[in-house]
Amino acid sequence: MQEAIALLREHDLLRVIDTPLDIDLEIPHVAYVEVKNPDSRALLFTRPVSRRLQREYDIPVLMNVFGSHEATNLFIGKPADTIAEEIEELLKLKPPATLGEKFGMLTRLFHLKNVFPKRLSSRGACQERIMQGEAVNLYDLPILTTWPQDGGPFITMGQVYTQSLDGERKNLGMYRLQVYDRNHLGMHWQIHKDSANFFHEYREAGEKMPVSIAIGGDPLYTWAATAPLPHGVFELLMYGFIKGESARLVKSITNDLYVPEDADFVIEGFVDPEKLRIEGPFGDHTGYYTLEEAYPQLEVHAITRKEKPVYLATVVGKPPLEDKYMGWATERIFLPLLKTTAPDLIDYVMPENGVFHNLIIAKMKTLYPGHAKQFMHAFWGVGQMSFVKHAIFVGDDAPGLESYDDLCDYILDRVQVDNLLISEGVCDALDHSSDAFAYGGKLGIDCTADNVHFPQKELLEDDALLELMQELEPTVEAIKQYKTYTKTPICLIAIDKKEPVKNLYERLEPVKKHTKLLVFVDAGKNDLNNPYMLIWRIVNNIDATRDIFLQKEFIGIDATNKGEIEGFPRRWPDDTDCDATVIEDLRERGIIDVDEDFLKRFYITKSG
């Protein structure tokens, strides 16, 4: 961490804040605002305090460490596309035919020996101080409470190390970890993760499961914890592959798990498979709270640390956030692995305001009718791609995937009912919009062919179209049209919902000749002039099997919050809104420098 801080400082990517700030809300709110700036920097809080616990900390808090493309490349050590090329070369490796090729392969294989972690027999810097028994106290760490409705403080950048019951398979993951008391943590490993699979092995055997959680050290450990490697592949192999040197590991004090020797903190303990505990709520990276669910809890047996540690944390919520840059690196590096399942894939992008698993846009070479729809099934059946809710496929003649405005025009010129595929399958456990937990609707759109040949709509100005709609449906409060020059004009409609949206869509059928795609959102919660946040809202709030209404040349999308009106069987969560009083206080003290327009643009507070 000290080297990371020095590297950030050297490249003018670090802001040091010496003002005492509270670990509850204040520090996270500062980081939440900072990362939304186009020139965001990492933040080092040198004087964290807790009014709740009535204490000051001599442990600095570092946040937003991956808060820009430049910082992410610094910690990876080389361009992400270069790493992708190296992976692609390995995947295409063929037996050498000449002496020169043999020497080249030997050199490459010799380099690969550094992929594997190295176990040290000595103790590490992470064990310079050891707390066990009564000395264990999670409140000695400046663990943050990010959101007003959070169930408590949460560790947000913990590297969670686990292994299978037989010890043969290792896993590194990053899951949120709720602090219940001085020696218990909630383990939010989701049902599709390797750690959860290991947990089931221990539960069937009636044995307690060892867990070690590292915080800090080389930032690349933290990124590796998020890497979507195939099932059973230890994520620290990516660290060795990227760095060209082995991760150096030491054995935990109270269990048999190995952790990076240079971590700043290590929390060790055991999970009793018979003891579950309610975890949450927590304001998560979807921009919504995930609700209370029963998860395993870790009984902490030891906390070890460096003599002078730094506490690493992140903040999640509405985009853009630090995961934008971490996800960008993952997206680039793992493209070759995705191509092994979908060989005609050219490239893909997961926009951060699509919250990654909610929206993917992929460019492909189409070879035969239905090729794109075949791809949809392939994507929905591959590892973490199976969680993607909305997938749009474009042809190799499409604009660049990050030229979003031009790409949107291309897509809208190719949208029609016949080009849609509505399916269902597994969803991320954080998804709140489907009727069932972790299972719901999926939408695929085939935009690979220019096959839309319907007459252009008879366009109206916004005021005239609004007047017509209000005659048909009085609950319509405002509208905003987008991309009216394309074959799929969009009309955003803000409503005061009194009944299921499908009824409104049917009553608005007379406007069919003036527009093609109606998108309904709740009035008062959405700014119709803010397409960035509208996309965030829409892809979060819809389940394709329930919320998409189809007629030829007239498509409706219900992106409103769901509840009793629709008979929604679950509790709809709130948005992650910063505490407006805290934000205003930080502005008055000069800790954050943003205007009202900035707060409104990113829906930072409830009033915004």
* Catalytic annotation, residues: 284
Angle between helices 236-243 and 80-91 (to 10 degrees): 100
Say which amino acid occupies 270: F
Angle between helices 580-588 and 26-34 (to 10 degrees): 80
Answer whether 534's CB lies under 8 Å from 354's CB: no
Strand, helix or coil for residue 345: strand
Q: What are the start-end ranges of the E strands in 513-598?
A: 517-522, 548-551, 554-558
Answer whether 414's CB lies under 8 Å from 447's CB: yes
Tally of CB atoms within 10 A around 590? 8
d(CA 13, CA 39) in angstroms, rounded, equals 9
Tally of CB atoms within 10 A around 39? 10
Helices in 454-494 by DSSP H: which ranges? 462-472
d(CA 407, CA 387) in angstroms, rounded, equals 23
Per-residue tokens: 15: 């802001």
d(CA 50, CA 67) in angstroms, rounded, equals 25
Strand, helix or coil for residue 578: strand
d(CA 211, CA 270) in angstroms, rounded, equals 6
Exposed, middle or buried: residue 578 (CB in 10 Å: 0-12, 13-18, 19+)? buried
Tally of CB atoms within 10 A around 185? 29
**Residue position matching structure tokens 């992400």:** 80
Answer whether 317's CB lies under 8 Å from 31's CB: no
Nearest to 149 by CA among 295, 319, 282: 282
For the chain, first and last CA: distance in Å? 36
Answer whether 521's CB lies under 8 Å from 594's CB: no
d(CA 604, CA 584) in angstroms, rounded, equals 12
Say which amino acid occupies 375: F
Answer whether 549's CB lies under 8 Å from 534's CB: no
Strand, helix or coil for residue 426: strand
For residue 320, whether the previous peptide bond is cis, meaning omega lies within 30 degrees of 0, is yes
- Across the beta sheet with 14-17, the strand order is 14-17, 42-45, 61-63, 311-313
Answer whether 454's CB lies under 8 Å from 487's CB: yes
